[in-house]
Amino acid sequence: MPFKDLCQQKTTSGRKHFAVLLDPDNLTEASCLNLLTLTESHPVDFFFVGGSLVTTDHQAGLIRLLKEHSTVPVILFPSNSLHIDKQADGILLLSLISGRNADFLIGQHVIAAPMLKASQLQVYPTGYMLVDTGRQTTASYMSGTAPVPFDKPAIAACTAMAGELLGLQYIYLDGGSGAMKPVSAEMIAAVREAVEVPVIVGGGINTTEKAKAALDAGADVLVVGNHIEKNPGFLAEVSNLVASYNVALDVHR
Ligand code: 1GP
Protein backbone atom coordinates (compact mmCIF):
# COMPACT_ATOMS: atom_id res chain seq x y z
CA MET A 1 0.00 0.00 0.00
CA PRO A 2 1.42 3.45 -0.84
CA PHE A 3 2.29 5.38 2.32
CA LYS A 4 -0.12 8.15 1.31
CA ASP A 5 -3.07 5.74 1.42
CA LEU A 6 -2.41 5.18 5.10
CA CYS A 7 -3.84 8.55 6.02
CA GLN A 8 -6.93 7.83 3.94
CA GLN A 9 -7.65 4.50 5.54
CA LYS A 10 -9.90 4.56 8.57
CA THR A 11 -7.64 3.91 11.52
CA THR A 12 -10.39 1.71 12.88
CA SER A 13 -9.55 -0.76 10.09
CA GLY A 14 -6.74 -1.89 12.37
CA ARG A 15 -4.40 -2.83 9.54
CA LYS A 16 -0.78 -2.80 10.71
CA HIS A 17 2.34 -1.80 8.79
CA PHE A 18 6.03 -2.44 9.22
CA ALA A 19 8.76 0.06 8.37
CA VAL A 20 12.45 -0.78 8.57
CA LEU A 21 14.63 2.21 9.40
CA LEU A 22 17.93 2.16 7.53
CA ASP A 23 20.63 4.46 8.87
CA PRO A 24 23.06 5.32 6.05
CA ASP A 25 25.91 5.56 8.58
CA ASN A 26 25.47 2.01 9.84
CA LEU A 27 24.84 -0.11 6.76
CA THR A 28 27.31 -1.64 4.35
CA GLU A 29 26.25 -2.60 0.85
CA ALA A 30 26.51 -6.29 1.82
CA SER A 31 24.34 -5.90 4.95
CA CYS A 32 21.78 -3.95 2.98
CA LEU A 33 21.63 -6.61 0.25
CA ASN A 34 21.23 -9.24 2.96
CA LEU A 35 18.23 -7.35 4.36
CA LEU A 36 16.75 -7.03 0.89
CA THR A 37 17.01 -10.78 0.40
CA LEU A 38 15.19 -11.30 3.69
CA THR A 39 12.36 -9.02 2.60
CA GLU A 40 11.64 -11.31 -0.35
CA SER A 41 10.25 -13.95 2.01
CA HIS A 42 9.35 -11.61 4.90
CA PRO A 43 7.69 -8.50 3.47
CA VAL A 44 8.09 -5.03 4.87
CA ASP A 45 5.82 -2.13 3.92
CA PHE A 46 8.30 0.75 3.85
CA PHE A 47 11.96 1.57 4.15
CA PHE A 48 12.61 4.72 6.14
CA VAL A 49 16.07 6.14 5.38
CA GLY A 50 17.84 8.59 7.65
CA GLY A 51 18.95 9.29 11.18
CA SER A 52 19.24 12.11 13.71
CA LEU A 53 22.91 12.63 12.88
CA VAL A 54 24.20 11.44 9.53
CA THR A 55 28.00 11.67 9.39
CA THR A 56 28.72 10.05 6.03
CA ASP A 57 27.72 10.64 2.42
CA HIS A 58 26.32 7.12 2.08
CA GLN A 59 22.65 8.09 1.88
CA ALA A 60 22.44 8.55 -1.90
CA GLY A 61 24.23 5.23 -2.53
CA LEU A 62 21.96 3.44 -0.09
CA ILE A 63 18.81 4.77 -1.74
CA ARG A 64 20.16 3.87 -5.18
CA LEU A 65 20.82 0.32 -3.98
CA LEU A 66 17.31 0.03 -2.52
CA LYS A 67 15.68 1.29 -5.70
CA GLU A 68 17.77 -1.05 -7.86
CA HIS A 69 16.97 -4.19 -5.87
CA SER A 70 13.54 -3.69 -4.32
CA THR A 71 10.07 -2.33 -4.96
CA VAL A 72 9.47 -1.44 -1.30
CA PRO A 73 8.75 2.31 -1.10
CA VAL A 74 11.70 4.35 0.17
CA ILE A 75 10.69 7.18 2.47
CA LEU A 76 13.15 9.76 3.73
CA PHE A 77 13.34 10.27 7.49
CA PRO A 78 15.46 13.41 7.44
CA SER A 79 17.17 15.16 10.32
CA ASN A 80 17.30 18.43 8.40
CA SER A 81 16.73 20.02 4.99
CA LEU A 82 20.08 18.74 3.67
CA HIS A 83 18.83 15.20 3.58
CA ILE A 84 16.42 15.51 0.68
CA ASP A 85 17.11 13.00 -2.08
CA LYS A 86 14.99 12.88 -5.23
CA GLN A 87 15.69 9.19 -5.76
CA ALA A 88 13.36 8.34 -2.86
CA ASP A 89 9.61 7.87 -3.23
CA GLY A 90 8.58 10.14 -0.40
CA ILE A 91 9.59 12.11 2.64
CA LEU A 92 8.29 12.39 6.18
CA LEU A 93 8.10 16.17 6.52
CA LEU A 94 8.67 16.11 10.25
CA SER A 95 7.53 18.97 12.43
CA LEU A 96 8.99 18.35 15.87
CA ILE A 97 5.81 19.17 17.79
CA SER A 98 7.06 17.76 21.11
CA GLY A 99 9.69 20.52 21.14
CA ARG A 100 9.73 24.30 21.12
CA ASN A 101 12.58 24.84 18.70
CA ALA A 102 11.18 26.94 15.86
CA ASP A 103 13.86 25.65 13.48
CA PHE A 104 12.50 22.10 13.68
CA LEU A 105 8.87 23.19 13.89
CA ILE A 106 8.97 25.31 10.69
CA GLY A 107 12.46 26.68 9.91
CA GLN A 108 13.95 23.68 8.12
CA HIS A 109 10.69 23.28 6.23
CA VAL A 110 10.95 26.78 4.79
CA ILE A 111 14.39 25.91 3.42
CA ALA A 112 13.17 22.57 2.09
CA ALA A 113 9.88 23.77 0.60
CA PRO A 114 11.11 24.92 -2.86
CA MET A 115 13.17 21.74 -3.29
CA LEU A 116 10.19 19.60 -2.29
CA LYS A 117 7.80 21.46 -4.59
CA ALA A 118 10.19 20.99 -7.50
CA SER A 119 10.65 17.29 -6.79
CA GLN A 120 8.43 14.29 -7.46
CA LEU A 121 8.66 13.25 -3.82
CA GLN A 122 5.43 12.43 -2.02
CA VAL A 123 5.35 14.64 1.05
CA TYR A 124 3.92 13.23 4.28
CA PRO A 125 3.29 15.98 6.85
CA THR A 126 4.14 14.34 10.17
CA GLY A 127 3.89 15.49 13.76
CA TYR A 128 7.10 14.12 15.24
CA MET A 129 7.16 13.55 18.98
CA LEU A 130 10.25 12.57 20.93
CA VAL A 131 9.55 10.70 24.14
CA ASP A 132 11.91 10.50 27.11
CA THR A 133 12.84 6.84 27.41
CA GLY A 134 15.56 7.13 30.02
CA ARG A 135 18.56 8.83 28.52
CA GLN A 136 19.12 11.76 26.24
CA THR A 137 18.89 10.70 22.61
CA THR A 138 20.79 12.05 19.63
CA ALA A 139 17.53 13.48 18.27
CA SER A 140 16.78 15.32 21.49
CA TYR A 141 20.30 16.69 21.81
CA MET A 142 20.66 17.67 18.15
CA SER A 143 17.26 19.39 18.09
CA GLY A 144 17.85 21.11 21.43
CA THR A 145 14.41 20.08 22.62
CA ALA A 146 12.98 18.40 25.69
CA PRO A 147 11.15 15.15 24.95
CA VAL A 148 7.68 14.34 26.32
CA PRO A 149 8.09 12.81 29.82
CA PHE A 150 7.75 9.02 29.65
CA ASP A 151 4.91 8.81 32.18
CA LYS A 152 2.79 11.68 30.83
CA PRO A 153 0.49 10.14 28.22
CA ALA A 154 -1.90 13.09 28.54
CA ILE A 155 0.80 15.49 27.32
CA ALA A 156 1.47 13.21 24.37
CA ALA A 157 -2.24 12.94 23.58
CA CYS A 158 -2.78 16.72 23.69
CA THR A 159 0.32 17.31 21.57
CA ALA A 160 -0.87 14.81 18.98
CA MET A 161 -4.34 16.39 18.98
CA ALA A 162 -2.82 19.81 18.36
CA GLY A 163 -0.75 18.38 15.52
CA GLU A 164 -3.81 16.83 13.94
CA LEU A 165 -5.80 20.05 14.33
CA LEU A 166 -2.97 21.89 12.57
CA GLY A 167 -3.40 19.52 9.64
CA LEU A 168 -0.56 17.08 10.16
CA GLN A 169 -1.48 13.76 8.61
CA TYR A 170 0.66 11.36 10.66
CA ILE A 171 1.86 11.27 14.25
CA TYR A 172 5.24 9.66 14.97
CA LEU A 173 5.97 8.70 18.57
CA ASP A 174 9.70 8.06 18.86
CA GLY A 175 11.67 6.91 21.86
CA GLY A 176 14.88 7.43 19.86
CA SER A 177 17.07 4.96 18.06
CA GLY A 178 18.39 2.27 20.39
CA ALA A 179 16.23 3.56 23.25
CA MET A 180 16.63 1.64 26.52
CA LYS A 181 12.88 1.06 26.58
CA PRO A 182 10.17 1.73 24.02
CA VAL A 183 7.37 4.28 24.32
CA SER A 184 4.84 2.91 26.83
CA ALA A 185 1.69 1.12 25.79
CA GLU A 186 -0.26 3.67 27.85
CA MET A 187 1.13 6.57 25.84
CA ILE A 188 0.57 4.84 22.49
CA ALA A 189 -3.02 4.04 23.48
CA ALA A 190 -3.67 7.61 24.64
CA VAL A 191 -2.39 9.04 21.37
CA ARG A 192 -4.25 6.45 19.29
CA GLU A 193 -7.43 7.40 21.13
CA ALA A 194 -6.82 11.13 20.72
CA VAL A 195 -6.40 11.33 16.94
CA GLU A 196 -7.80 9.86 13.73
CA VAL A 197 -4.57 9.96 11.74
CA PRO A 198 -2.15 6.99 11.59
CA VAL A 199 0.19 6.62 14.53
CA ILE A 200 3.78 5.59 13.80
CA VAL A 201 5.77 4.17 16.71
CA GLY A 202 9.49 3.45 16.96
CA GLY A 203 12.54 3.46 19.18
CA GLY A 204 13.94 0.61 21.24
CA ILE A 205 11.77 -2.16 19.83
CA ASN A 206 14.13 -5.12 20.12
CA THR A 207 11.90 -8.05 21.06
CA THR A 208 8.76 -9.54 19.59
CA GLU A 209 7.01 -8.85 22.91
CA LYS A 210 7.80 -5.13 22.68
CA ALA A 211 6.64 -5.07 19.06
CA LYS A 212 3.42 -6.81 20.04
CA ALA A 213 2.85 -4.43 22.96
CA ALA A 214 3.13 -1.42 20.63
CA LEU A 215 0.79 -2.97 18.04
CA ASP A 216 -1.74 -4.01 20.68
CA ALA A 217 -1.69 -0.48 22.11
CA GLY A 218 -2.64 0.93 18.71
CA ALA A 219 0.48 1.55 16.63
CA ASP A 220 -0.49 1.59 12.95
CA VAL A 221 3.09 1.61 11.71
CA LEU A 222 5.88 -0.05 13.65
CA VAL A 223 9.41 1.21 12.96
CA VAL A 224 12.45 -0.91 13.75
CA GLY A 225 16.04 0.05 12.96
CA ASN A 226 18.78 -0.59 15.47
CA HIS A 227 17.94 -4.15 16.41
CA ILE A 228 17.61 -5.24 12.78
CA GLU A 229 21.05 -3.79 12.06
CA LYS A 230 22.44 -6.02 14.83
CA ASN A 231 20.20 -9.06 14.23
CA PRO A 232 18.83 -9.15 10.67
CA GLY A 233 16.67 -12.15 11.64
CA PHE A 234 14.53 -9.79 13.72
CA LEU A 235 13.18 -8.41 10.43
CA ALA A 236 11.57 -11.80 9.76
CA GLU A 237 10.14 -11.97 13.30
CA VAL A 238 8.47 -8.56 13.08
CA SER A 239 7.29 -9.20 9.53
CA ASN A 240 5.60 -12.43 10.66
CA LEU A 241 4.08 -10.69 13.67
CA VAL A 242 2.63 -7.83 11.63
CA ALA A 243 1.31 -10.31 9.05
CA SER A 244 -0.43 -12.27 11.81
CA TYR A 245 -2.41 -9.17 12.82
CA ASN A 246 -3.48 -8.51 9.24
CA VAL A 247 -4.39 -12.14 8.56
CA ALA A 248 -6.55 -12.20 11.70
CA LEU A 249 -8.21 -9.02 10.48
CA ASP A 250 -8.97 -10.52 7.05
CA VAL A 251 -10.37 -13.71 8.61
CA HIS A 252 -12.79 -11.73 10.76
CA ARG A 253 -13.97 -9.55 7.93
C1 1GP B 1 14.33 5.78 15.66
O2 1GP B 1 12.08 5.06 15.59
C3 1GP B 1 13.34 4.80 15.12
O4 1GP B 1 14.10 7.07 15.18
C5 1GP B 1 13.77 3.37 15.28
O6 1GP B 1 14.38 3.13 16.52
O7 1GP B 1 16.57 2.13 15.88
O8 1GP B 1 15.64 1.81 18.17
O9 1GP B 1 14.61 0.65 16.23
P10 1GP B 1 15.34 1.87 16.70
Q: Considering only residues 193 and 57, tell me which one the structure prediction assigns the higher pLDDT.
A: 193
Q: Is the CB of 226 under 6 A from ligand 1?
A: yes
Q: Output phi, psi for 67, to 5 deg.
A: -70, -30
Return the pLDDT at 10.
Answer: 45
> 139 in helix, strand or coil?
helix
Q: Output phi, psi for 72, to 5 deg.
A: -65, 130
Q: What is the pLDDT of residues 1-30, one digit of tens each?
A: 778 777 665 455 789 999 999 999 999 999
Say whether 173 counts as a known binding-site residue.
yes
Return the pLDDT at 45.
Answer: 98
Q: What is the pLDDT of residues 44-94, one digit of tens each?
A: 999 999 987 888 889 999 999 999 999 999 999 998 888 899 999 999 999
Return the pLDDT at 253.
Answer: 63
Domains of the chain by range and CATH?
3-244 (3.20.20.390)
User: What is the number of the ligand 1 atom nearest to the C-alpha of 227?
Assistant: 9
Question: What CA–CA distance (Å, rounded) separates 147 from 218?
Answer: 21
Return the pLDDT at 8.
Answer: 60
Question: What CA–CA distance (Å, rounded) separates 1 from 18?
Answer: 11
- Do residues 32 and 61 lie in contact, with contact meaning Cβ atoms separated by under 8 Å? no
Say whether 23 counts as a known binding-site residue.
yes
Return the pLDDT at 49.
Answer: 97
Say whether 204 counts as a known binding-site residue.
yes
Q: Is the CB of 94 under 6 A from ligand 1?
A: no
Q: Is the CB of 203 under 6 A from ligand 1?
A: yes
217, pLDDT greater than 80: yes
**How close is the Cα of 54 to the center of ligand 1, in Å?**
14
- Do residues 24 and 58 lie in contact, with contact meaning Cβ atoms separated by under 8 Å? yes
User: What is the number of the ligand 1 atom nearest to the C-alpha of 228?
Assistant: 9
Question: What CA–CA distance (Å, rounded) separates 237 from 179?
Answer: 19
Q: What is the pLDDT of residues 94-140, one digit of tens each?
A: 999 999 999 999 999 999 999 999 999 999 999 999 999 998 998 99
Q: Is the CB of 73 under 6 A from ligand 1?
A: no
Say whether 174 counts as a known binding-site residue.
yes
Q: Name the residue among 3, 5, 12, 15 with its Cα closest to residue 215.
A: 15
